[in-house]
């Protein structure tokens, strides 16, 4: 009963689901693209960013990766567009882009 | 391999717990089940068992802690009654859908209100759709034996569902009766150690229990859970058979007392069945073919077997110790009547409310029930509504109290 999450989808029969829908592997949230929920989109303005990294711990969805002590661009597959990063940025380096009409 | 002694139903459950020595017991006291955690705490203090007792701040926490312990890989139990189980309500469903084999000692007491602490089945009947297996007892011996079988059923790989072992508050929980206790060695071997395949504390295991399930998955998950409940039928009977080989005690989905050739049958759950048996004997002595079907397993509901066992009867009284306020009768009435319809039975039926909030039921009361069945079958009695047994209503109704 430890079928891989990547092999479970909306065509899976009830007989093939895990018992109690238990998940038998780590980090399956990567497969779940919550970025589809987003309406407003944060945009990183690199020239204004001072790499203070304050946005990183504030992101509730771990969508700002850090490499060699520097933040990378947003993980738009999982960013829900909550806007907290833009709110906490002391340098105006993150702007929320409104959805297109 | 046994000892004859006497003890209360709560002591009997505590003795079963002592023999099982479960890993974790979170519990919160509530009448009339308070003695069970009290006895267990005493046994732990005396070094007789090494169960981890968690004194929680509420029953919601008790069931949540039992879930956590069970998911972590422990054999977890709890005990409660009435409003205590009502406070567990939300978590009861989660425990079942998470397929955690928790065992609960439920001492049946009516849900408030009016505020009352006595025997009624409204607590467990309210939880009948929560996904828990429900096994009921007539007397102290049965609640002891049922508790000893509970883990084997819950933990079986074809089941993985929680089980509640029910007994009537005060009537059996506090009344002292003769009982045969089975020796520790054979019972410990019968119950066995709990060895789950997957659990949170397992080394190198990555496991998430109880995740959010979006709509495209929930129906499939519920179907899988319903199938596990169906598979529990065979497991319950297999475990009972093995228990019988060990102890000589016979258990099934239900007990038939003088039912084979009965024309007038009573269907009931719990301690009232002892009273009903005396009434059957009294009616038989008068030449009336009376019988009893005592339900032991209510979830999964053995509807087909009940229908088959009853369909030859002329008139059947289905006894509910729980008002459902449906204006149609009680839960047992609804389910047994449906089973009779599917079995194409032609018996007259009446659904009778009895013993609510601990109202005493005497042998004479049950004799009146059989008398009403005789009249019902003969066309001399008609129940426009489901009657209350022993109700003061100022009428000449055969079941009313004058």
Across the interface, of A1, A13, A20, the residue whose CB is closest to B98 is A20
CA distance B303 to B311: 12
CA distances, B217 to each of A11, B166, B303, B330 (Å): 10, 33, 29, 33
Indicate whether B233 and B275 sit together in one domain.
no
Q: Is residue B369 part of a domain?
A: yes
Query: What is B7-50 written as a DSSP string?
Result: EEHHHHHHHHHHHH--SEEEE---TTTTHHHHHHHHHHHTTS--
- Percent share of chain A, pLDDT over 90: 82
Spatial distance between the Cα atoms of B373 and B367, rounded to a whole number of angstroms: 10
d(CA B359, CA B401): 12
CA dist., res. B312 & res. B262, Å (int) = 8
On whether residue B402 sits in a domain, the answer given is no
Share of chain B above pLDDT 70, in %: 100
Measure in Å the smallest separation between the Cα of A13 and chain B Cα atoms.
7
Domain at B68, CATH number: 3.40.50.970
> Which chain A residues touch B if contact means CB-CB below 8 Å?
1-2, 10, 12-15, 17, 19-26, 28
Give B73's pLDDT tier (boundaries 50, 70, 90): very high
Q: Are B331 and B218 in the same domain?
A: no
Q: How confident is the model at residue B402 (pLDDT cuts 50, 70, 90)?
A: low
Q: What confidence score (pLDDT) does residue B1 get?
A: 76
How many residues are listed for chain B in this entry? 402
Residue B398 lies in a domain: no
What pLDDT does B111 receive?
A: 97
Q: Which of residues B212, B247, B282 is at a domain's end? A: B247
Q: Residue B390 domain-assigned?
A: no
pLDDT band at B395 (very low <50, low <70, confident <90, very high): confident
As a whole number, mean pLDDT of residues B215-223 equals 95
Q: Are strands B163-168 and B315-320 parallel, antiparallel or unpaired?
A: unpaired
Mean predicted lDDT score pLDDT of chain B: 97
Q: Is residue A2 scored above 90 in pLDDT?
A: no
DSSP assignment of B117-181 equals: -S--SHHHHHTTTSS-EEEE-SSHHHHHHHHHHHHHHHTSTTT---EEEEEETTTTTTSEEEEEE
**Minimal C-alpha gap between A4 and chain B (Å):** 12
- Are B260 and B324 part of one and the same domain? yes
Residue B284's alpha-carbon distances to B31, B141, B280, in angstroms, are 38, 26, 6
CATH of the domain at B349: 3.40.50.920
Stretch 219-248 of chain B: residues touching chain A, C-beta under 8 Å: 219-221, 223-225, 227
What's the confidence (pLDDT) of residue B234?
Answer: 98
Secondary element (H or E) of residue B337: helix B331-342
Instruction: State how far the Cα of B145 lies from the Cα of B18, in Å rounded to an integer.
Output: 13
Find the helix packing angle between B331-342 and B303-310, rounded to 10°.
70
The predicted pLDDT at position A4 comes to: 87
The answer on B332 and B239 residing in a single domain is no
Closest chain A C-alpha to B299 CA, distance in angstroms: 19
| Judgement on whether residues B219 and B92 belong to the same structural domain of the protein | yes
B260 and B242 in a common domain: no
Q: What is the CA radius of gyration of chain B?
A: 21
- Report d(CA A95, CA A40) in Å as an integer: 10
Q: Is any Cβ of chain A less than 8 angstroms from the Cβ of B97?
A: yes
Residues B223-232 pLDDT 10s:
999 999 999 9
Cβ pair B217:A2 closer than 8 A? no
Answer for the pair B43, B49: CB distance below 8 angstroms, yes or no.
yes
The reply to whether B217 touches chain A by the CB within 8 Å rule is yes
Q: What is the mean pLDDT of residues B167-177?
A: 98
Average pLDDT over residues B380-399: 89
- Say what the pTM is: 0.94
Are A21 and B217 inside 8 Å of each other by CB? yes
Q: Are residues B268 and B352 in the same domain?
A: yes
With respect to residue B364, please indicate whether it lies within any of the assigned structural domains. Answer: yes
B212 near A CB under 8 A: no
Structure tokens at A10: 């909306």
pLDDT digits (tens, 9 = 90+) for B118-149: 999 999 999 999 999 999 999 999 999 999 99
**Under 8 Å between Cβ of B155 and B95:** no
A29, closest residue in chain B (CA to CA): B211
- Residue B317 Cα distances to B94, B301, B401, angstroms: 35, 18, 18
User: In this structure, is residue B394 part of a structural domain?
Assistant: no
Residue B232 lies in a domain: yes
Of B247, B273, B288, the position where a domain reaches its end is: B247
- Please tell me which residue, B14 or A8, carries the higher pLDDT value: B14
- Please judge whether B160 and A10 are an interchain contact, meaning their C-beta atoms are less than 8 angstroms apart: no
Residue A19, pLDDT > 80, answer yes
Domain count, chain B: 2
Task: Name every chain A residue with its beta carbon within 8 A of the beta carbon of B72.
Answer: none
Kindly indicate whether the ipTM for this predicted assembly is greater than 0.90, answering yes or no.
no
Q: What does the block give as tokens for B56? A: 């929680």
Whether residues B338 and B363 share a domain: the answer is yes
Write down the pLDDT at residue A95.
Answer: 98
Percent of chain A with pLDDT over 70: 98
- Chain B nearest-CA residue for A22: B209
Asked whether residue B226 is domain-assigned, the answer is yes
* Cβ pair A21:B198 closer than 8 A: no
Same domain, residue pair B289 and B354: yes
Domain range for B135 is 2-247
Could you give the domains of chain A? 1-32 (no CATH), 34-101 (3.30.70.20)
Q: Are B200 and B260 within one domain?
A: no
Of A65-69, B239-243, B386-390, B397-401, the one with minimum mean pLDDT is B397-401
Which chain B residue is nearest to residue A8, measuring alpha carbons? Answer: B217
Cα B16 from Cα B148, distance rounded (Å): 6
Same domain, B188 and B134: yes
Flag whether pLDDT at B398 surpasses 90: no
Final residue of a structural domain among B208, B228, B247: B247
pLDDT at A101: 74
Distance from C-alpha of B33 to C-alpha of B13, rounded to nearest angstrom: 10
**Is B156 an interface residue toward A (CB < 8 Å)?**
no
pLDDT, position A24: 93
Q: Smallest CA–CA separation between B199 and chain A, in Å?
A: 10
The pLDDT assigned to B250 comes to 98
- Same domain, residue pair B113 and B148: yes
Residue pair B315/B264 in contact by the 8 Å Cβ criterion: yes
Please indicate whether, in this complex, the C-beta atoms of B209 and A2 are within 8 angstroms of each other: no
Is the pLDDT higher at B27 or at A29? B27
């Amino acid at each position: 009963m430890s079928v891989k999450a990547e092999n479970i989808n909306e065509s899976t029969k009830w007989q093939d689901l895990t018992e109690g829908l238990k998940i038998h592997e780590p980090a399956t949230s990567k497969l779940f693209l919550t970025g589809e929920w987003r309406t407003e989109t944060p945009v990183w303005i690199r020239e204004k960013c001072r790499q203070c990294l304050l946005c990183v711990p504030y992101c509730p969805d771990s969508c700002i990766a850090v490499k060699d002590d520097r933040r990378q661009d947003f993980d738009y597959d999982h960013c829900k567009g909550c806007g907290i990063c833009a709110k906490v940025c002391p340098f105006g380096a993150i702007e929320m882009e409104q959805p297109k009409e | 391999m046994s000892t004859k002694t006497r003890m209360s139903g709560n002591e009997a459950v505590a003795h079963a717990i002592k023999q099982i020595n479960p890993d974790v017991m979170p519990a919160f006291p509530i009448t009339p089940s308070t003695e069970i955690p009290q006895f267990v705490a005493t046994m732990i203090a005396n070094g007789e068992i090494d169960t981890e007792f968690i004194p929680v701040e509420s029953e919601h926490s008790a069931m949540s802690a039992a879930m956590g312990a069970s998911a972590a890989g422990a054999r977890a139990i709890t005990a409660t009654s009435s409003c205590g189980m009502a406070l567990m309500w939300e978590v009861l469903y989660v425990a079942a859908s998470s397929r955690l084999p928790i065992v609960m000692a439920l001492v049946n007491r009516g849900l408030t209100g009016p505020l009352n602490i006595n025997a009624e089945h409204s607590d467990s009947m309210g939880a009948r759709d929560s996904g828990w297996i429900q096994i009921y007892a007539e007397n102290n011996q049965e609640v002891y034996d049922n508790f000893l079988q509970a883990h084997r059923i819950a933990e079986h790989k074809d089941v993985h569902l929680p089980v509640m072992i029910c007994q009537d508050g005060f009537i059996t929980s506090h009344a002292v009766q003769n009982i045969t206790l089975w020796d520790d060695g054979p019972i410990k071997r019968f119950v066995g150690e709990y060895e789950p395949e997957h659990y949170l504390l397992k080394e190198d295991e990555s496991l998430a229990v109880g995740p959010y399930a979006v709509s495209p998955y929930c129906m499939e998950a519920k179907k899988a859970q319903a199938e596990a409940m169906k598979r529990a039928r065979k497991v319950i009977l297999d475990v009972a058979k093995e228990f019988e080989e060990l102890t000589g005690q016979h258990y099934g989905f239900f007990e038939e007392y003088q039912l084979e050739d009965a024309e007038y049958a009573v269907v009931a759950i719990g301690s009232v069945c002892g009273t009903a048996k005396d009434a059957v004997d009294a009616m038989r002595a008068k030449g009336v073919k009376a019988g009893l079907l005592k339900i032991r397993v209510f979830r999964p509901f053995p509807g087909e077997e009940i229908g088959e066992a009853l369909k030859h009867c002329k008139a059947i009284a289905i006894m509910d110790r729980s008002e459902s306020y449906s204006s149609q009768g009680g839960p047992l009435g609804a389910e047994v009547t449906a089973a009779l319809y599917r079995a194409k039975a032609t018996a007259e039926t009446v659904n009778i409310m009895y013993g609510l909030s601990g109202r005493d039921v005497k042998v004479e009361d049950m004799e009146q029930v059989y008398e009403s069945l005789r009249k019902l079958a003969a066309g001399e009695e008609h129940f426009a509504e489901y009657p209350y047994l022993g109700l003061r209503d100022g009428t000449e109704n055969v079941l009313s109290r004058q």
